[in-house]
């Protein structure tokens, strides 16, 4: 199930299902959306605080449900990540989402929502840069900005080394639905009703601020749960600020990846600029994708519907 595309003049909703939003920072991102001809509706969680959360669980859940049910809102941009989406995952009305499938966009802590919503409803959602944490940043780049155009027309994404150097950890070719996101959040789904399903899927992993021993621990947990072995292929995104403590003995991040990913019976390619980085290439999760280690490329099908009025499918990137 894919959401309908955006059109100029549409309204997008911006709400915070996780941590509080610094509103001054958020408003810096608003000209970006207005230049695309979009109107903006803020949720009740914008400016709300409840400790490290943007409101109580009930308040954040109410805001999410309201945005989904509001037929004037054509897409929901999650303002930032942080922490908290897992706290409301078991309370979400997934039937409401099935009745009102629309564009849902974010990453980091939003990984939990992506996983829960896709596995409960089949809706394609988008892993991409968010207003307060990315678009408002002075380093937000033109490539990342241009890729929001995939919301306005069905386009195929084709990622090659023209964007960033890619390293083949394990050779091969594979295709399947693209799933995943933030490694810490994927691991936190294990043993729950929203446990990540990787069987026959292309699994994207990325993270920030995790030392190699922490990445080691998380990959080992995925291995013990069979999630790495079941995947059709592995896409390694950005792992920013993952340097080990120079005062302590450590493996490098590359050694950790080799230990867990080189022995798999599926293609594994690293170096994709996806995650807490610039550029940050947004991708539709749930869309079919093709990973070629020999071609050092990833191709992802469109994440929005063809509606008869949109431009013919084309490649973007």
Catalytic residues: 108, 206, 276
Edge-first strand order for the sheet with 155-159 is 167-170, 268-270, 233-240, 202-208, 173-182, 288-292, 297-300, 155-159, 314-316
Is 25 within 8 Å of 31 (Cβ atoms)? no
Measured CA to CA, the distance from residue 35 to residue 8 in angstroms comes to 10
Q: Is 31 exposed, middle or buried (0-12, 13-18, 19+ CB in 10 A)?
A: exposed
**Distant-in-sequence, close-in-space partners of 246: CB < 8 Å, separation ≥ 6:** none
Measured CA to CA, the distance from residue 282 to residue 274 in angstroms comes to 7
Q: Is 71 exposed, middle or buried (0-12, 13-18, 19+ CB in 10 A)?
A: exposed
**Distant-in-sequence, close-in-space partners of 140: CB < 8 Å, separation ≥ 6:** 129, 134, 278
DSSP 153: S
Q: Is 297 exposed, middle or buried (0-12, 13-18, 19+ CB in 10 A)?
A: middle
Q: Of 276, 2, 316, nearest to 139 (Cα)?
A: 276
């Amino acid at each position: 199930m894919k959401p309908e595309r955006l059109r100029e003049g549409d309204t997008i909703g911006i709400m915070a299902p996780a941590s509080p939003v610094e509103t001054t920072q958020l408003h810096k991102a608003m000209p970006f959306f207005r230049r695309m001809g979009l109107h903006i509706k803020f949720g009740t969680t914008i400016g709300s605080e409840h400790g490290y959360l943007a409101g109580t669980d009930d308040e954040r859940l109410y805001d999410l449900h309201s945005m989904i049910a509001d037929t004037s809102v054509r897409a929901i941009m999650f303002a930032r990540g942080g922490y908290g989406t897992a706290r409301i995952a078991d309370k979400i009305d997934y039937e409401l989402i099935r009745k009102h499938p629309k564009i849902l966009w974010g990453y980091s802590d939003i990984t939990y929502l992506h996983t829960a919503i896709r596995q409960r409803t089949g809706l394609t959602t988008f892993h991409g840069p968010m207003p307060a944490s990315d678009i408002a940043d002075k380093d937000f780049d033109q490539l990342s900005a241009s890729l929001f155009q995939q919301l306005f027309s069905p386009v195929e994404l084709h990622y090659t080394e023209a964007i960033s150097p890619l390293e083949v950890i394990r050779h091969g070719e594979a295709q399947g639905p693209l799933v995943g996101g933030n490694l810490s959040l994927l691991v936190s789904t294990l043993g729950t009703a929203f446990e990540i399903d990787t069987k026959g899927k292309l699994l994207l992993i990325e993270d920030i601020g995790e030392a190699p021993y922490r990445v080691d621990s998380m990959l080992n947990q995925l291995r013990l749960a069979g999630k790495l072995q079941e995947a059709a292929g592995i896409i390694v995104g950005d792992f920013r600020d993952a340097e080990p403590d120079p005062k302590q003995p450590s493996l490098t991040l590359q050694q950790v990846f080799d230990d867990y990913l080189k022995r798999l019976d599926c293609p594994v390619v690293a170096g994709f600029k996806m995650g807490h980085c610039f550029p940050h290439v947004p991708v539709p999760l749930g869309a079919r994708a093709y990973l070629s280690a020999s071609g050092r490329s990833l191709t992802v099908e469109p994440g929005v519907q063809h509606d008869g009025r949109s431009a013919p499918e084309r490649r973007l990137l």
